[in-house]
Chains A and B, each alone.
Chain A
Amino acid sequence: MAEQRRATVHEAAKEAREAAEVERLPEATRRESLEVEDLREHLPGIEPDRQVTDWGRSERVEKALDRTLVDFLYHYWFRVSVEGVDGVPDDHGALLVSNHSGALPPDATMIAKAIKEEHPRPRPLHITVEHFFKGYPGFAMLLPKIGAVPAHPANVHRLLYDESQLVLVFPEGRKGSEKLYKDRYRLRRFGRGGFVAAAMRAQVPIVPVCVVGAEEAQPIFAHLRLLQKLTGLIYVPVTPTFPLLGPAGMLGYLPAKFAIRFLDPIPTDQWGPEPWEDSGLVQTVAEQVRDLIQRNLLDMLSKRSSVWLG
């Protein structure tokens, strides 16, 4: 699997190189892009015996979780229905952007599983998480193994541009997952538009994703500020099962029906060279993506007759 994945990366990089339309770029940019493209050839080669990627992603751990817990949640608990997954690119990099919810958010795992299950050419998805998790014992050990990557711009760029991978970002960040039940499906601020700049730099499309169901799967009623300070976590929520059932209650998801809608990819090479320097444009595009997701969320919600049955 890892081998196949790496091989895909190399193929994709090669194709991208061949297809690169260098002529239309001005001289300075052309030289720069050639220089960077040279470096893509020098990515580390394949080591078939390895079970872990350079990002710390472990095939063994991922598979074990995928076959048990994730499979169960996807098929039987959340009964995920998916539309538009074919829009996710087959081989080159793409930045998936989604709304974020649920105290211990199940949305990322379900999106990754949806691509694994429904996409004609299943690909691994890299999920960006806050740096906080790299510094917290337990999370630091587990999260990289199942495909989480700290949300550093350089990490996102390497994955998207150099390795031609799929990356999922939640521009709302923790503001999305910590919001209370009463604010459900109302998108928070979309960061500072960093995700748009990242996609522009890497010359990959943005794929907006809407997830319905995660808000009801683990609604948050309040936050325990004191416990948050004591544990050093980013937040300690009150959910239907937590802290009632102890720490394991964090995994207590209600069986809400999930619906995931992948929207059409938005190309980021339509604005001429170096569009990321134009912060006005970056903000505008970020706002447009946010509106698009919000509109589609409301559309999906208006068609949903039951939280549990869809």
Chain B
Amino acid sequence: MDTRRILITGLSTFWGGRLARALEEDDAIETIIGVDVDDPTVELDRTEYVRVSNQHTLIRRIVAAAEIDTVIDTRLAVDSTVAPPRLAHENNVIGTMNILAACSGPESPVRKIVMKSSAHYYGCERDDPAFFTEEMERPHPPKTPIERDIVEAESAVRDFADKHPAVTVCVLRFANTLGPGLRTSHTRLFALPAVPCILGFDPRYQFIHEDDIVGCLEHAARHDLAGVFNAAADGVLALSEVADLLGKPLAPVLPPWGTGLVAKPLRRAGMRFPSELLNQLRYGRGLDNRKLKATGYEYRYTTREAVQQLAKQLRLAPILRDAREPYRYEQEVEEFLRYSPSVRRGER
């Protein structure tokens, strides 16, 4: 199937914006429309932004009017420090339901759906395999709100795929993300003078660089990948190795027993351990990324390289502080640039 008319939900998330910018380069793609509740955070050229909540009737009208053939859902919140649980649930579960509802029905023009999910789907437990493959289920039901949301959202997507065999449904389960443009609970912990850990544990960690996230989403948009794919960089590092690469000592600030109790007051000291991260700090997680590689995607960074990139950026951070002017979305300017007859295409 040719992908020509794309709708990106969650345009204002870091990934949505970066993906739109990457797709803009390709002239074969006629239309890119982004929807979100917040303004875009990156400068976009020809992507059209529509401010809309996750209401399926509104999105459905956009989908039908623009004859969207591919929907890329980058909206999922996978870090409980960025959104309170209630809001995250609203976005992750109800939002996914609404977007799927907007794409369903016999007269829907949508032929492909790509969903950005997370490896939190698998959780982190004692009796996990060292490398999760896509068909493996998590051994225990999810305990943290974010994990519950992701499992629920994915099951909604699976139902949709079962009911719509003509639509190519691709779910990408991303490992924890690192990158210069990104702030996650991991980058925040790694920015501390020492890398906090649980006493007596050295979990295995796998990351994915932000460029590879955009790359994977783009790869999924351009090819017809049906099913679930793990997306994680090559190489699983021990946390001690990560600390080594960052040039920082490991600080066992969390006790092996009563970890949750100690994590709470530490938040005041600037160490925020979201609940889904505590189990990861204990047991770690590895993904088998070969299924996606077999479809032809080549990762630009290994886990080690992603950590090295972060190390570089962390060294520069105190120097470059506030040096870059953040992009601000101004509706009038964007509309002028896109639709005014005075704007000459070649000179923008």
Contact = CB atoms under 8 A, between A and B. Distances in A.
Interface of A: 38-39, 42-45, 47, 49-52, 54-56, 58, 131-132, 134-141, 144-145, 149-150, 152, 154-155, 158
B289 to A, nearest CB: 8
B131 A154 contact: yes
Given A39-B291, A47-B304, A54-B204, 10 more contacts: A49-B304, A52-B238, A54-B130, A131-B127, A140-B282, A141-B200, A144-B204, A145-B202, A154-B131, A155-B129
B200 A155 contact: no
Nearest to A151: B127
Interface stretch (B156-164, B219-227, B229-237): B229-237
Interface string B268-306: 000000000000001100101111011000000010100
Contact of A137 (B126, B198, B288, B291): B198
B293 to A, nearest CB: 4
A50 B130 contact: no
B136 interface: yes
B241 A155 contact: no
Contact of A140 (B129, B133, B202, B237): B202
Contacts of B136: 154
Contact of B202 (A135, A141, A150): A141
Contacts of A145: 202
Interface of A is mostly: mixed
Q: Pick the most buried of A44, A55, A132, A152: most chain B CB atoms within 10 A of its CB.
A: A44
Given A38-B294, A154-B136, A137 B200 contact: yes
Given A38-B294, A39-B294, A137-B256, A55 B130 contact: yes
Given A138-B200, A154-B129, A158-B130, A54 B294 contact: no
A43 B291 CA distance: 10
A39 B199 CA distance: 37
Contacts of B289: 42, 44
Interface of B: 126-131, 133, 136, 198-202, 204, 234-238, 241, 256, 282-283, 286, 288-291, 293-294, 302, 304
17 contacts: A42-B290, A45-B302, A50-B237, A52-B237, A52-B238, A54-B286, A58-B238, A132-B126, A134-B126, A135-B126, A135-B282, A135-B283, A137-B199, A152-B129, A154-B130, A155-B130, A158-B130
A131 B126 contact: yes
Contacts of B236: 54-56
Contact of B235 (A47, A135, A137, A155): A47
Nearest to A45: B234
B235 A54 contact: yes
Q: Which 10 A-B pairs have the closest CB atoms?
A: A137-B200, A137-B256, A44-B234, A154-B129, A135-B126, A42-B290, A42-B293, A54-B236, A131-B127, A141-B202
A306 to B, nearest CB: 41
Contacts of A135: 126, 282-283
Given A44-B234, A52-B238, A154 B133 contact: yes
A56 B198 CA distance: 17
Given A39-B290, A39-B291, A47-B304, A56 B126 contact: no
Contacts of B283: 134-135
A54 B285 CA distance: 11
Contacts of A132: 126
A307 B129 CA distance: 40
A131 to B, nearest CB: 4
B134 to A, nearest CB: 11
B4 to A, nearest CB: 30
Contacts of B256: 137
Nearest to A35: B294
Given A47-B302, A54-B235, A42 B294 contact: yes
Given A50-B304, A141-B201, A141-B202, A44 B130 contact: no
Contacts of B133: 154
Contacts of B238: 52, 56, 58, 144
Given A43-B290, A137-B200, A141-B201, A50 B241 contact: yes
A140 B240 CA distance: 13
A140 B197 CA distance: 13
A134 B127 CA distance: 8
A44 B129 CA distance: 17
B318 to A, nearest CB: 27
B35 to A, nearest CB: 35
B235 A50 contact: yes
